[in-house]
């Protein structure tokens, strides 16, 4: 309000000054020297300009405040939308990318750089749920998810694509590196000291299937190949790695 009143006062002073100046010029040009003209030139702006300028400046101030509020609401909306998108793209329990988001991610990045795909399945997970309860089963999944995340690089990505199934996209098509990372994941999961609230240790292991050289072609085909290698690892006794190379894929 003080700012509006200050602006009104400035307008009033300028209006009076301009009115007196114009009146003086006109009187001089017409050789008139009536003091009443100066009185009228002073009184009229004093009566008119305060009310009009107050209304104009008050509306302008309301508009400014409205625009500030609108900008703030827009910023909050953008932040909320970003949070909602992030939440909708993540698995609620592990915080990893969900199935759809992970598939879309792989489909997008493989066009820029060939990579490799791992599908990781927790061994005997139903047995863990049956023997120790779903609470401990969820805890085991979160421990495995955290372990896998710690074994991959910043350029790689991980998602939860099923109940006890995870997928990793590695930003490399070097077969030795892919096998080494997969074996590291398998070994590190074995080393997890997961215990129930009753301090009973629950041994954890994973079977891993994968394919090297994910690039062009139908993304579903790569997942099917990696999935077949996963079941091959299961048939080989679980807790092992089975990776299909680029040469076999190309053939």
Short-list 167, 180, 185, CA closest to 227? 167
CA distances 118 to 53, 107, 191, 194, 201, Å, are: 71, 14, 20, 23, 27
Quickly count: other Cβ atoms within 10 Å of residue 1's Cβ.
7
Q: Cβ contacts of residue 246 below 8 Å, gap of 6+?
A: 173, 175, 212, 213
Q: Which helix (H) or strand (E) holds 121?
A: strand 115-122
H helical segments located in the chain: 2-29, 35-88, 99-109, 125-151, 175-190, 219-235, 246-250
Q: Which residues are catalytic?
A: 164
Q: Rg of the chain's alpha carbons, rounded to an integer?
A: 37
Phi, psi of 167 (to 5 degrees): -135, 145
């Amino acid at each position: 309000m003080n700012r509006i009143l200050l602006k009104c006062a400035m307008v009033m002073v300028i209006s009076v000054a301009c009115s007196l100046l114009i009146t003086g010029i006109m009187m001089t040009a017409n050789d008139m020297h009536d003091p009443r003209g100066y009185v009228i030139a002073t009184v009229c702006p004093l009566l008119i300009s305060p009310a009009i300028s107050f209304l104009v400046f008050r509306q302008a101030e309301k508009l400014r405040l409205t625009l500030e509020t609108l900008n703030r609401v827009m910023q909050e909306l953008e932040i909320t939308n970003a949070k909602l998108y992030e939440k909708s793209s993540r698995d609620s329990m592990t915080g990893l990318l969900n199935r759809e988001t992970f598939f879309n991610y792989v489909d997008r990045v493989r066009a820029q750089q060939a990579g490799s795909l791992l599908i990781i399945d927790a061994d005997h997970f139903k047995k863990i749920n049956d023997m120790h309860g779903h609470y401990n089963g969820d805890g085991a999944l979160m421990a495995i998810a955290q372990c896998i995340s710690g074994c991959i690089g910043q350029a790689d990505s991980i998602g939860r694509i099923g109940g006890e199934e995870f997928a990793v996209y590695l930003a490399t098509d070097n077969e030795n590196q892919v096998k080494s990372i997969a074996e590291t994941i398998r070994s590190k999961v074995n080393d997890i000291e997961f215990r129930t609230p009753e301090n009973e240790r629950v041994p954890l292991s994973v079977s891993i299937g994968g394919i090297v050289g994910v690039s062009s072609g139908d993304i579903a085909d790569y997942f099917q190949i990696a999935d077949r290698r996963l079941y091959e690892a299961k048939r080989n006794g679980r807790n092992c790695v089975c990776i299909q190379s680029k040469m076999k894929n190309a053939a």
